[in-house]
Structure 1
Amino acid sequence: MSIGAAAREAGVGIETIRFYERQGLVSQPPRPEGAGMRLYPAATVERVRFIKVTQELGFSLREVQDLLKLWADPSADCADVRDLAVAKLADVHRKIRGLQEIGVTLERLTNACPGNVGLRECPVMDALTSHAGAVTTPESSGGCPNPDGFGTASDGPWPPRPAAAASPGGSRTPDGGLGGYLLGQLMGMRRR
């Protein structure tokens, strides 16, 4: 079958199959002698469906490659596949906990925001800009830059300095959680 027919059968686009070929997940059939088109076997459709399902379950392309190797290995044991699935499940539970932490943080931030004050009094913006470490320029703040690089000398630091330094990765704090950082910012905000 053509690549288009294989893609339709597998429920993906042609570019998805080409991407899988470039990643080494699907073999590209040889071009027939002459000017004919490549013909994809039914096994390609089965393999693409397998890749699609594993990705929908959250497996990375590297993990999909490992599963495909196990699938092709007649001596592979079910325990090998189970080990990969158990590791993925643990990863999913870790991500769920992280999303729950973010949800709690966003609830607290939105509950703390009256919604009818200027940006300088907005607790959400205060926590977010503190985390981002954004720096205002003299043009945007209307005054001389503060020697520490935040806000102006006349209005004090704005945006406020982060209470905790970000990790080298940037978006997470040393304790590993953006939500925890923002909660700390929310709890430590000065009363207005």
Structure 2
Amino acid sequence: MNIGEAARASGVTAKMIRYYESVGLLAPKARTEAGYRLYGPTEVHTLRFIRQARRLGFLVDDIRKLLALWQDRSRASAEVKAIALEHIAELELRITELTEMRDVLAQLANHCHGDERPDCPILDELSTSRLDHESHPSLPLAKVAR
């Protein structure tokens, strides 16, 4: 099947298939004389695996490790679990950071009248250097710097 057919069968766009090939998650495919990539059931199954891993928020490096473990029938499930537990910890940190950012923004929005007046505490706070870790210690430093 060509890349469009593989995309439809796997639920992954053709653009993402090309990207996964470029970063080594999917082996480069043989091409026809006209230059079209050819895919089979194995590649579609791999693409579905990648899609599911992406839906769970795994990054490319972790997906690469998971793919290698998936393809290694002599793997230890402990290795897979370690990757999953590390990802869970990262997700929990991101959830905490996002919750803290939401709370600070909600506090700013609560102080904005939201009417026809030009006064806006949200813009005032964003335009000052006070929106930093010292004045909002609950905000993660990396997020404040952006």
TM-score (norm 2): 0.82
Match of 1:141?
none
Q: Which has the larger radius of gyration?
A: 1
For the residue of structure 2 that corresponds to 1:50, the secondary structure is helix
In 2, Cα distance between the equivalents of 1:50 and 1:63?
12
In 2, Cα distance between the equivalents of 1:6 and 1:18?
11
CA shift, 1:115, in A, is 2.9
Does residue 123 (structure 1) correspond to residue 121 (structure 2)? The answer is yes
What aligned pairs does 1:1-192 form with structure 2 within 5 A after superposition? Answer: 1-32=1-32, 34-35=33-34, 37-116=36-115, 117-119=117-119, 122-130=120-128, 162-163=129-130, 177=140
Structure with more helix by fraction: 2
Residues matched between the structures, number: 140
Q: CA RMSD in A?
A: 2.6
CA displacement 1:123-151 (0-9 Å, x = unmatched): 21111111xxxxxxxxxxxxxxxxxxxxx
The percentage of aligned residue pairs carrying the same residue is 36
For the residue of structure 2 that corresponds to 1:115, the secondary structure is coil
**Which ranges in structure 2 are unaligned for 5 or more consecutive residues?**
none
Question: Which stretches of structure 1, 4 residues or longer, exceed 4 Å deviation after superposition?
Answer: 34-37, 173-176
CA shift, 1:83, in A, is 0.5
Q: Evaluate the alpha carbon distance shift between residue 176 and residue 46 of structure 1 in structure 2; reply closer, same or farther with a 3 A threshold.
A: same
In 1, Cα distance between the equivalents of 2:99 and 2:138?
16
**Which ranges in structure 1 are unaligned for 5 or more consecutive residues?**
131-161, 167-172, 182-192
CA shift, 1:94, in A, is 0.8
